Amino acid sequence: MKLRIIITIFAACTLLTACLPIGNSDSTNDTTQNISVGEEETQEEKEDLSDEEKEEYEKLVAKAKEIVITGSGELTEDMVKERLLEEGIEKYDEESDELYRIVIEDGFTKIGSFAFKGYKGLCGVSIPDSVTELGGCVFEDCSALIEITIPDSVTEMGNATFWNCTNLQEVKLSEGLTELDTTFMGCHSLKTVEIPSSVTFLDGTFKKCNAFETFIVPEGVTELRKTFQNCTSLQKVVLPESITKIDGYTFSGCSALAEVNIPDNVELISEEAFLGCTSLEFEQLNVMGMKLGANAFTGIKIKELIVDGKDSCVSGFALDEAIIEKVTYEIAEDNDKLVISATLKVNPATLKEIVISDGYIQIRNNMFEGYAELESVTIPASVTEIGPDVFKDCGKVTIYTTAGSTAETYAIENGISYEIIQ
């Protein structure tokens, strides 16, 4: 079975190159389920794979058998099965060395759900312009599929279209699509995708795609959800100004992610959006006016967090396990009360500094209670009211304020260290 071994080893090399340097137990397990040789053997072959073997694999693809499917209306799973059985091809045939290309003739308007699922030798598909819709899981488990173009006539795609196409590397999608739902989940080798300008929602689109290192989300996309979950090689993501929602689990498990921007228009960052992003650090993170879900920034390093005094997002469980060094209170345009009223709930072991911007007039009671490592709080002269237990159990704190201010009087009356600033 030399040809099957060459195909499998070539595929394994692509997967291991994408996945193994970073390492992730879940994604590695997913990958090895699609490799028919042992993990140790595969890694050894990865190092020894010759140019001749790569060339032989490419020749196999070039010489793949062409199979034409004719008809009209919906191309169903049963129709595909019947046609391929005529060629002696069955689903999930792990023993066959045969590669084949499918040519779908003009006349079909839809490719039904699961139509080509499990055809391991399928390495290419030609889709006519008459097709306007793809059902769910159409190419699931087509592990020999390397590249594909979806014609612009297709305006609707079901979920998980290319699920677990482990060697898919390049895709051109059609203009007119608005949502990509788990489209490429488990495509470990995927490197190039042209996302149409019409797409606004990426829902689980690239989950467990481990070949990406940098990804630029195009302008026009407004919402992300589980988009890059468990993309363990992803290091940098550029988000457009059009983004308004970073929903739950968008980047969770992206252990190599070190850089991502949060656009000014973002209104919501949901639960566990950055959970497990152990390489990520924000120099400055502005969450003024945002809604934050539980554990949104658990374990994330944030050197400076910018909030508004009324932002309830700081009182929940979004930031309590984040590693925050400094909190700066700025004033949002819609804050007409000028009161710091939302109890700060961040990791007390890491917070060292709080800066309150000029313009605030009141700090409500217990706002900073229990921050034992807090060393510096800057309070402007505009603050004229400070609750009696604002700094309860803040044994290391020094208040920085102007001479004659309410904060100076407060520090003297409560035995708190203070320094006068200009």
Residue 57 maps to a domain: yes
Spatial separation of the C-alpha atoms in residues 178 and 63, rounded to whole Å: 36
Spatial separation of the C-alpha atoms in residues 130 and 73, rounded to whole Å: 9
Residue 75 maps to a domain: no
pLDDT of residue 53: 63
Q: Do 213 and 191 touch, CB atoms closer than 8 A?
A: no
Please give the angle made by the CA atoms of 10, 209 and 137, to the nearest 5 degrees: 90
Q: How many domains does the chain have?
A: 1
Spatial separation of the C-alpha atoms in residues 76 and 84, rounded to whole Å: 12
pLDDT of residue 38: 29
Spatial separation of the C-alpha atoms in residues 379 and 311, rounded to whole Å: 18
Residue 378 maps to a domain: no
The pair of three-digit structure tokens given for residue 130, joined into one six-digit string: 């008459």
The burial of 341, by beta-carbon neighbours within 10 Å (0-12 exposed, 13-18 middle, 19 or more buried), is given as middle
* φ, ψ dihedrals at 134, nearest 5°: -115, 130
The beta-strand segments (E) located in 120-173 are 122-126, 133-134, 147-149, 156-157, 170-172
pLDDT 10s per residue in the chain (422 long)?
A: 444 445 454 544 443 333 333 233 333 333 322 222 222 332 333 334 467 766 776 777 788 999 999 999 999 999 999 999 999 999 998 777 789 999 999 999 999 999 999 999 999 999 999 999 999 999 999 999 999 999 999 999 999 999 999 999 999 999 989 999 999 999 999 988 989 999 999 999 999 999 999 999 999 999 999 999 999 999 999 999 999 999 999 999 999 999 999 999 999 999 999 999 999 999 999 999 899 999 999 999 999 999 999 888 887 889 988 999 999 999 998 888 899 998 888 999 999 999 999 999 999 999 999 999 999 999 999 999 999 999 999 999 999 999 999 999 999 999 999 999 98
Residue 35 maps to a domain: yes
Range of the domain at 33: 2-61
Which residues are CB-neighbours of 391 under 8 A, at least 6 positions away?
368, 369, 374, 377, 397, 399, 414, 416
Count CA atoms closer than 13 A to 48's CA, side-chain side. Answer: 7
Spatial separation of the C-alpha atoms in residues 168 and 166, rounded to whole Å: 6
Residue 38 maps to a domain: yes
The burial of 94, by beta-carbon neighbours within 10 Å (0-12 exposed, 13-18 middle, 19 or more buried), is given as exposed
Q: Do 4 and 97 touch, CB atoms closer than 8 A?
A: yes
Spatial separation of the C-alpha atoms in residues 153 and 145, rounded to whole Å: 21
Residue 16 maps to a domain: yes
Residue 17 maps to a domain: yes
* φ, ψ dihedrals at 263, nearest 5°: -60, 155
Residue 168 maps to a domain: no
The pair of three-digit structure tokens given for residue 104, joined into one six-digit string: 């779908």
Closest CA to 357 of 338, 336, 376: 338
- What's the pTM value of the predicted model, to 2 decimals? 0.83
C-alpha separations of 110 from 151, 275, 412 in Å = 12, 39, 77
